[in-house]
Amino acid sequence: MIKLSQLHNAFTLFVSLLVEAIPFLLLGVLLSSFLLLVVDERNLIAKLPRNPILGALVGSCIGFLFPVCECGNVPVARRLLLKGVSPAVSIAFLLAAPTINPVVIWATWVAFGDQPQIVILRVVFSLIIATTVGIIFSVQKNAQGLLHPALEKRLKFNLQCNNAPTTFSEPDEVPFLLQSGTFLLNNAGKTQVMDQSLTTNPYRRKKQRKIFHSRKLRLFLENVNQEFQELGGMLIIGSAIAAIIQVFVPREVVFGLGQDSITSILAMMFLAAIVSICSTVDSFFALSFAGTFTSSSLLAFLVFGPTIDIKAIGLMLSIFRPKVIIYLFVIVAQLTFLMTFTYDYLF
């Protein structure tokens, strides 16, 4: 029977997860909207390597440019996809950004300064996992089929707009008699047209610039509002599920599994998935179990948690189809267990 105290604890935990996650989600939405205004799709795609390995590696390292956690990386990854970036690069960024960014690395160093191998291996393992998963998904023939149907339609529409031919073209040279404007002679004695652009009132140009900037600001605010509403709903659902599981699955059951190498790693991976702690502070949470669990299990918590937790899965449903998220969960879990168990076996 459900106790009133359990409901109270679940609600308190639900609110605390939202309070912790919303600022980082808002930061990610602001970065996403900023990318919408300043990033040129064609230049961005042209600069990304076409090699799947290099592309996934670059996607894993983009987190240094956008230091966001697992709440803020989703809107940025969505924006990259809508800009035309391949799903492999976006997936690599999605998995690596919560860990491979300066804020999280610094926080991990503060918590585990006496164990630098944990700090280094957290970055290395996360980089390997993100790059590997990106490479795996790069071989998908229909990459757009991985995406949520609504996002797939928006991406196809954007690509059609970018590839559509213009309805008119500017001729290279037009005879002077067919041009409009006042004809003058310049210093070289050649004919020069004083068209409307040369005689425009400077105050009018300044007004046009103000209108242009106001339109960009309105587009920025509208996109922030739209994305925050879309992702905020998914965050609420994910936080509610995480709170319910964390309250009604006793931690003693999880801690009781941490008696040997294999079960302790699995227990900390499970704990990382259900507690849904932001990657900027999860190292301090893991530090509290340093006397109970092995270093390899703590490392599994730090690597697996930022990439796959229930709160993040709720947000990722706004990008990918459910089966893709299942594949991500399974692949990341297998790689995390394999690498941390190997570390425990060797050291």
Q: What's the whole-number mean pLDDT along residues 104-110?
A: 87
Q: Residue 224: which of 39, 88, 90, 26 has the closest Cα?
A: 26
Average pLDDT, integer, range 95-121: 89
Q: Are 118 and 302 in contact (CB under 8 A)?
A: yes
Query: What predicted TM-score, i.e. pTM, was given to this entire model?
Result: 0.71
**Residue 198, pLDDT score:** 43
- Residues whose CB is less than 8 angstroms from the CB of residue 192 and which lie 6 or more positions away in sequence, other chains included: 183, 184, 185, 186
Mean pLDDT estimate for the chain? 77
Mean pLDDT of 120-141: 91
Q: Residue 83's pLDDT is what?
A: 77
Query: Which pLDDT does position 204 carry in this prediction?
Result: 55
User: What percent of the chain lies above the pLDDT cut of 90?
Assistant: 17
Q: How many CA atoms lie within 13 A of 120 on its CB side?
A: 5
pLDDT confidence band for 177 (50 / 70 / 90)? very low
CA-based nearest residue to 226, from 154, 163, 137: 154
pLDDT, position 173: 45
d(CA 302, CA 91): 19
In terms of pLDDT, which residue wins out, 186 or 275?
275
Of 155-159, 178-182, 319-323, give the lowest mean pLDDT range. Answer: 178-182
Q: Facing residues of 147 across strands?
A: 320
Extract the tokens encoding 27. Answer: 């930061």
Measure Cα distances from 67 to 25, 101, 168 in Å. 12, 5, 42
In the chain, domain spans: 4-160+221-346
Q: Give the mean pLDDT of 228-254.
A: 76
Query: Average pLDDT, stretch 219-238?
Result: 80
Closest CA to 305 of 283, 338, 289: 283
**Residue 312 banded pLDDT, cuts 50, 70, 90:** confident
